[in-house]
A and B are shown apart, each in its own frame.
Chain A
């Protein structure tokens, strides 16, 4: 079915029902855009509205036709704003049975907007494998039998052959087709909307790919102002040493930092340091180029000589140290494998490490695991990753990710490094830096560092510098619990705004540097792009609104204060070596920090936003529901 759009607009929202074949393009109400900007923020309002309509967040089957799959570009995505490359994918997560959301870079967001669609909301389930073709405001549902079974890069190449070189696709690999709970949606060789199993949701809809045929430039309100802002902000960013180092070395240099500290998750966090053989220099030997996403001024991504891209620091840690694998070449192989299969590297590394520890402790044995499961056994890990992606043998059980705990012996849960059932995203053991610990405990989608990590806390900046950045007092000591709650809340807000705009964290104020792009830079870019003026403080309020909306969604999923917690090991077992030796999270102090965090957010002791805020959010959800209706409403699957 084809739908002609009247014109290109900001905030075009397409509704596609794969069961009925209905396709509609609607304008997002301007007041919704003003309140939630785009990307992650708008996704959440639509998610709340559509889950309610489908029977309630807690009741909806994440792999059923009623779960909406929402692909939303940021308000600045695809413009020339620095690093405005990203989009968010949101749905109920099959991995956590809660709020699912994943953020992704590459070239897809820009292509999707240039194809006339800012947000795509897919419901229902296609009768046969299908893909969507977006072009000039038209959306077609096309058969994908010929592509089913293909790997991530393979299918993108096939789609380019069919539709031409300008076709940019977001796809699933075999893992998504088999509805593996940690399946990613991928674009390019490595860019992943990796977290929360969004690839499984796409697979459950029989949807192999969304292909965007973008053309022309995105219209912006004031092209000259946009160009000037780009020039000045790029120059500002290029003065930062962090930006320079990321552009030269990529993220793998962070491995050495965490490892020297004694904070690299090793063998499922039983240990906290590992071999120097995974230092960045080893990966550089096997890298031939640095790559970038749309409009990026950093260029942080390695192209590796084994045919893929990456690995990033997270993958080095989680498919390396966390599995006891010390060969950089092996880690690159595994990195390329998970990417081609369409698996989230973070969850995959965490879940296999969990299984290895259960095996080490005798909680599971050869009968269940189909043979020995030993630390550092590259061949076995390689084979197991293939089995997970194709749901074969023991791999079928691990494909359930955290939900596998229901089919494992009592006590298995104690060794799972996850929060809200989401395996921890990054390789940093958070027992030493208390703000990092609180951050992963309260992050709306589960254990994830990209929601709120106060990376500057590691730096022991002088008091005046900290006050100038945050506007309040915090302890300079990373092991102190004092003032850390407000710091996490501060990061929540600005990272949420970056996600709503489609801007990469690597250029966002507070992420590794206090000299990057903050609210005032963002406001200037928004005004140039859309004509909307945001006065001082208003953008941060938009970020706060998004966090509160996600909290409301989490409450609807049945989450409570008890879910804002940490893996048992982080409370009970002190770190064993190096600078961090002896550190763990003290439960009573953690609870106090949680109280302070709720206070900083304006929530009550149970973690509930104020009545006034809830009323405001209800209005936004109502507006989204109306926009979703379009006079007829996308029929549930």
Chain B
């Protein structure tokens, strides 16, 4: 099956769980953002609780837009994953 490569930028505080700010993932073609989060969780179990927990669900930006779980990915995509707390 054809595949694609995406480069995920991990924002605060997610990158600290895996000690890297950028992760390259190989995903099957046709993959969507939800597939990417699952793949990330499989590769990095320490990130898993940030990816599924309802308290602060992760927010994904793709091509300068907010994506949701069904947003399609493409080869060479550079999504950013943040944990969208806000405050003072």
Q: Say whether A257 contacts B82, CB under 8 Å.
A: yes
Which residue in chain B gives the minimum CB-CB distance to A243? Answer: B55
Q: Say whether B82 contacts A260, CB under 8 Å.
A: yes
One of B54, B68, B83, B87 near A505 (C-beta < 8 A): B87
- B9-25 residues with Cβ-Cβ distance < 8 A to A are 11-13
Which residue in chain B gives the minimum CB-CB distance to A433? Answer: B86
Q: Say whether A455 contacts B86, CB under 8 Å.
A: yes
Known: A261-B61, A579-B64. A505 touches B88 (CB 8 A): yes
Which residue in chain B gives the minimum CB-CB distance to A259? Answer: B11
A581 to chain B, nearest CB (A): 6
- B37-86 residues with Cβ-Cβ distance < 8 A to A are 49-50, 53-57, 59, 61, 64-66, 68, 80, 82-86
Max count, chain B CB within 10 A of own CB: residue among A241, A453, A460: A241
Q: Say whether B12 contacts A426, CB under 8 Å.
A: no
Q: Say whether A260 contacts B11, CB under 8 Å.
A: yes
How many chain B residues have a CB neighbour from A under 8 Å?
Answer: 24
One of A253, A314, A577 near B13 (C-beta < 8 A): A253
Number of A-B contacts (CB under 8 A): 98
One of A257, A514, A577 near B85 (C-beta < 8 A): A257
Known: A280-B12, A313-B88, A579-B65. A257 touches B83 (CB 8 A): yes
Q: Say whether B59 contacts A450, CB under 8 Å.
A: no
Cβ–Cβ < 8 Å partners of A262 in chain B? 64
The CA-CA distance from A459 to B59 in the complex, in Å, is 7
Cβ–Cβ < 8 Å partners of A506 in chain B? 87
B87 to chain A, nearest CB (A): 6
Q: Say whether B64 contacts A512, CB under 8 Å.
A: no
Q: Say whether B88 contacts A245, CB under 8 Å.
A: no
Q: Say whether A254 contacts B85, CB under 8 Å.
A: yes
B60 to chain A, nearest CB (A): 10
Q: Does A465 interact with chain B (Cβ within 8 Å)?
A: yes
Q: Does A256 interact with chain B (Cβ within 8 Å)?
A: yes
The CA-CA distance from A436 to B87 in the complex, in Å, is 11
Q: Say whether A256 contacts B56, CB under 8 Å.
A: no
Q: Mark A29-56, 1 if CB is under 8 A from B, else 0.
A: 0000000000000000000000000000
Q: Say whether A455 contacts B12, CB under 8 Å.
A: no
Q: How large is the interface on A (under 10, 10 to 19, 20 to 34, 35 or more residues)?
A: 35 or more
Which residue in chain B gives the minimum CB-CB distance to A582? Answer: B64
Q: Does A475 interact with chain B (Cβ within 8 Å)?
A: no
Q: Say whether B61 contacts A260, CB under 8 Å.
A: yes
Cβ–Cβ < 8 Å partners of A426 in chain B? 87-88
Cβ–Cβ < 8 Å partners of B56 in chain A? 241-242, 459, 512-513
Cβ–Cβ < 8 Å partners of B53 in chain A? 241
Which residue in chain B gives the minimum CB-CB distance to A513? Answer: B55
B35 to chain A, nearest CB (A): 18
Q: Say whether B66 contacts A313, CB under 8 Å.
A: no
Max count, chain B CB within 10 A of own CB: residue among A314, A425, A579: A579
Q: Does A428 interact with chain B (Cβ within 8 Å)?
A: yes
Known: A249-B12, A460-B68. A453 touches B86 (CB 8 A): yes
Cβ–Cβ < 8 Å partners of A260 in chain B? 11, 61, 80, 82
Q: Say whether B86 contacts A458, CB under 8 Å.
A: yes
Which residue in chain A gives the minimum CB-CB distance to B62? Answer: A579
Cβ–Cβ < 8 Å partners of A242 in chain B? 55-56, 85
Q: Say whether B55 contacts A511, CB under 8 Å.
A: no
Cβ–Cβ < 8 Å partners of B11 in chain A? 256-257, 260
The CA-CA distance from A515 to B50 in the complex, in Å, is 15
The CA-CA distance from A460 to B33 in the complex, in Å, is 15
Q: Does A2 interact with chain B (Cβ within 8 Å)?
A: no
The CA-CA distance from A258 to B60 in the complex, in Å, is 13
Max count, chain A CB within 10 A of own CB: residue among B50, B65, B85: B85
Q: Say whether A460 contacts B87, CB under 8 Å.
A: no
Which residue in chain A gives the minimum CB-CB distance to B9? Answer: A260
The CA-CA distance from A450 to B61 in the complex, in Å, is 27
Cβ–Cβ < 8 Å partners of A279 in chain B? 12
Q: Say whether A257 contacts B61, CB under 8 Å.
A: no
A379 to chain B, nearest CB (A): 28
Q: Say whether B59 contacts A458, CB under 8 Å.
A: yes
Cβ–Cβ < 8 Å partners of A261 in chain B? 61, 82, 84
Q: Given known contacts A254-B86, A460-B66, A461-B54, what 19 new A-B pairs fall within 8 Å (CB)?
A: A249-B13, A253-B12, A253-B85, A256-B11, A257-B85, A260-B61, A260-B82, A261-B61, A279-B12, A426-B87, A428-B86, A455-B87, A460-B59, A460-B68, A505-B88, A506-B87, A578-B64, A579-B66, A581-B64
10 contacts between A and B (CB under 8 A): A241-B49, A241-B50, A242-B56, A248-B13, A256-B82, A428-B86, A460-B68, A505-B87, A512-B87, A514-B55
- Chain B residues engaging chain A, CB cutoff 8 angstroms: 11-13, 49-50, 53-57, 59, 61, 64-66, 68, 80, 82-88
- Chain A residues engaging chain B, CB cutoff 8 angstroms: 240-242, 245, 248-249, 251, 253-258, 260-262, 279-280, 312-314, 425-426, 428, 436, 449-450, 453, 455, 458-461, 465, 505-506, 511-515, 577-579, 581
Q: Return the 3 tightest CB-CB contacts between A and B, nearest first.
A: A253-B12, A256-B12, A455-B86
